[in-house]
């Protein structure tokens, strides 16, 4: 299959997936008993006040109509207005999403080379001492929940020693890049948990390639060490590793919510956590939809990368 | 093809590390489950000044609201572990049921169900938890259901693949041909062959479930403020860590030790039952 049909098929599959996830997002927040009315009107509101709020928010109409309106608005780039503060959801997301993407991008820039190096080191000599050390170490770190890791790093590097700021205070009207020291701890936390996951995936892909006949052949020709790893194991291992890393974005999204909450970093994850706490349903739905789209897009990108990196591409199997 | 990836830690009986992990697991489990019986004081009553250092009556000092840290630690573990066990059970039941059905009976409809499962598997687990918590605030049940549902697609894929391999061996065709009903076939021919896979998978799901339920407490989801929860204790006391780090460090150490030990044990279990279908992708 050439690139054209491949890309077309993937992009076409993206649309129904996002539509299905949008139904899920809307349904989970709308149909469950936690009614937005009591969140907005307050616990002591009278029945008449509650009815007025319900009508103002348009909650007296049936869910299917409201879903279609919401989805239609989303297609036009209008995700409604948040309950608290009356801010436009789209503007808020446009304001915060770049900060989160910066955080995730920096974490990936640290984690990807480290995972490839460690995973290759372990996988190319599976079963040897280096593999045992890397695999056990990675398993230990992967066992730590992100918020525990973040809290420990915060306590060690910020609260005790004062080396780094505890809270990510972004200068008014600026971006996190204006105060780069606030990025260190959030990026470090995300990168460490990313390395733990990534190394394991690269290791298992490399171990599989290292046991293949063509690597055996290269070894018999006298190629060893880093040259064997970089020239003969790595090319075959990158494609499956890229695909597996794409599937890990769900964990990265969760990690971003946690890390932004710990450090008070002004990203979309912190906003989502606060919106859940305030039961600001339009904001929760809008952010969840954007995060679903980002996740699906990452999986798509990883598939494309896996195909581009696959050395067998184009040759008949 | 040759079996890839020889066991990195060598074969043989359980090593020292495995026994240490089992001991750590048992220790944390007993603190979490027996704690409420052993604790003398109330976990929600204010007993002293905020963030006091350890002293008489308060072996771990007090937290940010002046409550006894020791009592809160002893009361705060079981909710995390019970929710994780419940969620793992839910995911395993749904995953095994769905996987068996899809692996054996579903022919044409099955492909469509798998497409739907693939889409659900992309959904970030924490996002599902936050959404259900918005719909059903202050509810531990919502956390349990969200964690269980988030793990189900992965369980289902693993069990389905194992079931299809069993179905392809011919036992099932033979049993069906001699007139056995589906319930009998599942009980006698399929379940014994996939039980190991289901068990190893449940171990991996449990690791993820412990992470998620602890994170739920940390993010303030589930049953609300005064009740003790290891995850929430870390969140509440983080700003006071320079004054008294114990209310952060003790629950963090317990959670970290348990999560790491369970992760290593689940890894060994999966390796022991060596099954090529079990991926770590959901963990």
From chain A, the residues in CB contact with B6 under 8 A are 126-127, 207, 211
Q: How far apart are CA B199 and CA B204, in angstroms?
A: 9
Q: Which residue has the higher pLDDT, A302 or B14?
A: A302
Examine the pLDDT at A187 and tell me if it is beyond 60. yes
Examine the pLDDT at B11 and tell me if it is beyond 50. no
Mean confidence (pLDDT) of chain A? 80
Nearest to B9 by CA among A94, A128, A106, A290: A128
From chain B, the residues in CB contact with A24 under 8 A are 120, 123
Average pLDDT over residues B130-152: 85
Q: What is the pLDDT of residue B91?
A: 93
The predicted model scores a pTM of: 0.82
The strand pairing partners of B55, in sequence order, are B58
pLDDT digits (tens, 9 = 90+) for A194-209: 888 888 888 888 888 8
- Phi and psi for B55 in degrees, rounded to 5? -160, -170
Contact A33 B135 (CB under 8 A): yes
pLDDT digits (tens, 9 = 90+) for B189-237: 888 888 888 888 888 888 889 888 888 888 888 776 677 888 888 888 8
Q: What is the pLDDT of residue B93?
A: 93
- Phi and psi for B46 in degrees, rounded to 5? -80, 125
Average pLDDT over residues A138-153: 84
Structure tokens at A37: 């009315």
Structure tokens at A100: 């989160």
Closest CB to B136 among A25, A34, A261: A34
- Phi and psi for B58 in degrees, rounded to 5? -125, 85
Q: In this complex, is the C-beta atom of B20 within 8 Å of any C-beta atom belonging to chain A? A: no
From chain A, the residues in CB contact with B207 under 8 A are 143
Closest CB to B122 among A143, A207, A295: A295
Structure tokens at A114: 């480290």
From chain B, the residues in CB contact with A296 under 8 A are 122
Closest CB to A276 among B121, B130, B234: B130
Nearest to B271 by CA among A6, A73, A136, A103: A136
Q: In this complex, is the C-beta atom of B130 within 8 Å of any C-beta atom belonging to chain A? A: yes
Average pLDDT over residues A130-156: 84
Sign, CA dihedral A256-A259-A261-A267, equals negative
Q: In this complex, is the C-beta atom of A102 within 8 Å of any C-beta atom belonging to chain B? A: no
From chain A, the residues in CB contact with B130 under 8 A are 257, 272-273, 276, 284, 288
CB-count burial class (<10 Å; 0-12, 13-18, 19+) for B225? exposed
Q: How far apart are CA A76 and CA B190, in angstroms?
A: 51
Whole-number percent of chain A with pLDDT over 70 = 88
Q: What is the pLDDT of residue B8?
A: 46
Sign, CA dihedral B82-B87-B18-A122, equals negative
Q: What is the pLDDT of residue B282?
A: 38
The strand pairing partners of B46, in sequence order, are B67
pLDDT digits (tens, 9 = 90+) for B22-81: 999 999 888 888 888 787 777 777 777 777 777 777 777 777 777 877 888 888 888 888
Residues 48-87 of B with CB under 8 A from A: none
Contact A284 B119 (CB under 8 A): no
Give CA B168 to chain center in angstroms. 32
For B68, which DSSP code? B
Structure tokens at A209: 């390639």
From chain B, the residues in CB contact with A251 under 8 A are 124-125
Q: In this complex, is the C-beta atom of A284 within 8 Å of any C-beta atom belonging to chain B? A: yes
Q: In this complex, is the C-beta atom of A113 within 8 Å of any C-beta atom belonging to chain B? A: no
Q: How far apart are CA A155 and CA B80, in angstroms?
A: 23
Examine the pLDDT at B106 and tell me if it is beyond 50. yes
Q: What is the pLDDT of residue A316?
A: 43
Q: What is the pLDDT of residue B280?
A: 43
Examine the pLDDT at B108 and tell me if it is beyond 70. no
Distance from CA of B36 to the nearest CA of A (A): 23
Distance from CA of B115 to the nearest CA of A (A): 9
Structure tokens at B273: 């039952």
Q: CA B248, B124, B145 angle in degrees (round to 5)? A: 75
For B46, which DSSP code? B
pLDDT digits (tens, 9 = 90+) for A9-22: 888 888 888 888 88
- Gyration radius (Cα) of chain A, Å: 24
Q: In this complex, is the C-beta atom of A220 within 8 Å of any C-beta atom belonging to chain B? A: no
Question: Which domains are present in chain B?
Answer: 16-282 (1.10.3720.10)
- Phi and psi for B68 in degrees, rounded to 5? -70, 120
Could you tell me which residues come within 8 angstroms of residue B150 by beta carbon, excluding any fewer than 6 positions away? B91, B123, B125, B128, B129, B208, B212
Examine the pLDDT at B92 and tell me if it is beyond 50. yes
Instruction: Give the side-chain half-sphere CA count within 13 A for B113.
Output: 16
Counting other chains too, the contacts that B196-200 makes at CB distance below 8 Å and 24 or more residues apart are B196/B273, B196/B275, B197/B158, B197/B159, B197/B162, B197/B273, B197/B275, B197/B277, B197/B278, B198/B92, B198/B95, B198/B96, B198/B155, B198/B159, B198/B162, B199/B269, B199/B273, B200/B266, B200/B269, B200/B270, B200/B272, B200/B273, B200/B275, B200/B278
Contact B248 A155 (CB under 8 A): yes
- Give whole-number Cα distances, A231 to A221, A243, A308, in Å: 13, 20, 17
Mean confidence (pLDDT) of chain B? 80
Most confident of A38-42, A154-158, A229-233, B96-100: B96-100
Structure tokens at B153: 């697609």
């Amino acid at each position: 299959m050439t690139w054209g049909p491949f890309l077309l098929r993937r992009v076409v599959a993206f649309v129904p997936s996002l539509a299905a996830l949008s139904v899920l997002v809307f349904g989970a927040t709308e149909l469950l008993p936690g009614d937005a009315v009591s969140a907005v009107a307050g616990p002591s509101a009278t029945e008449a006040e509650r009815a007025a709020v319900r009508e103002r928010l348009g909650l007296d109409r049936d869910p299917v109509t409201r879903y279609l309106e919401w989805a239609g608005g989303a297609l036009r780039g209008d995700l409604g207005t948040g309950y608290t503060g009356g801010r436009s959801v789209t503007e808020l997301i446009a304001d915060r999403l770049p900060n989160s993407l910066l955080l995730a991008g920096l974490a990936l820039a640290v984690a990807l080379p480290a995972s490839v190096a460690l995973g290759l080191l372990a996988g190319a000599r599976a079963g040897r001492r280096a593999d045992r050390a890397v695999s056990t170490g990675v398993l230990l770190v992967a066992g730590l929940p992100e918020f525990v890791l973040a809290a420990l790093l915060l306590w060690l590097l910020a609260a005790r020693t004062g080396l780094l700021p505890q809270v990510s205070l972004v200068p008014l009207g600026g971006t996190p890049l204006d105060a780069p020291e606030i990025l260190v701890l959030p990026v470090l936390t995300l990168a460490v948990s990313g390395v733990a996951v990534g190394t394991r995936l690269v290791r298992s892909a490399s171990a599989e390639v290292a046991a293949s006949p063509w690597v055996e052949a290269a070894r018999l020709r006298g190629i060893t060490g880093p040259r064997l790893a970089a020239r003969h194991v790595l090319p075959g291992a990158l494609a499956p590793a890229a695909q597996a890393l794409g599937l890990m974005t769900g964990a990265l999204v969760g990690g971003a919510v946690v890390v932004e909450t710990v450090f008070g970093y002004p990203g979309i994850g912190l906003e989502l956590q606060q919106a859940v706490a305030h039961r600001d349903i339009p904001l929760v739905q809008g952010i969840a939809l954007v995060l679903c789209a980002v996740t699906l897009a990452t999986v798509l990108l990883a598939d494309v990368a896996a195909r581009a990196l696959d050395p067998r591409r184009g040759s008949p199997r | 093809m040759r079996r890839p990836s020889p066991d990195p830690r060598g074969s043989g009986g359980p090593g020292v590390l495995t026994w240490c992990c089992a001991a750590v697991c048992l220790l944390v489990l007993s603190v979490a489950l027996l704690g409420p019986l052993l604790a003398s004081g109330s976990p929600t009553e204010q007993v002293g000044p905020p963030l006091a250092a350890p002293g008489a009556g308060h072996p771990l000092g007090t937290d940010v609201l002046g409550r006894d840290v020791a009592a809160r630690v002893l009361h705060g573990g079981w909710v995390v572990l019970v929710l994780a066990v419940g969620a793992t059970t839910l995911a395993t039941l749904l995953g095994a049921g769905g996987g068996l059905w899809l692996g054996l009976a579903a022919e044409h409809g099955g492909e469509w169900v798998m497409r739907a499962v693939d889409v659900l598997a992309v959904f970030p687990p924490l996002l599902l938890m936050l959404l259900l918590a918005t719909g059903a605030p202050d509810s531990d049940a919502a956390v349990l259901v969200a964690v269980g549902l988030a793990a189900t697609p992965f369980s289902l894929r693993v069990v389905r693949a194992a079931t299809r391999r069993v179905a392809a061996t011919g036992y099932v065709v033979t049993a069906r041909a001699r007139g056995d009903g589906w319930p009998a076939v599942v009980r006698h021919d399929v379940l014994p062959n996939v039980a190991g896979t289901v068990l190893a998978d449940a171990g991996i799901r449990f690791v993820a479930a412990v992470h998620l339920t602890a994170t739920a407490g940390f993010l303030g989801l589930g049953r609300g403020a005064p009740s003790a929860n290891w995850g929430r204790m870390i969140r509440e006391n983080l700003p006071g860590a320079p004054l008294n780090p114990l209310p952060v460090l003790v629950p963090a150490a317990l959670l970290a030790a348990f999560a790491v030990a369970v992760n290593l044990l689940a890894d060994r279990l999966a390796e022991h039952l060596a099954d090529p279908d079990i991926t770590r992708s959901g963990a």
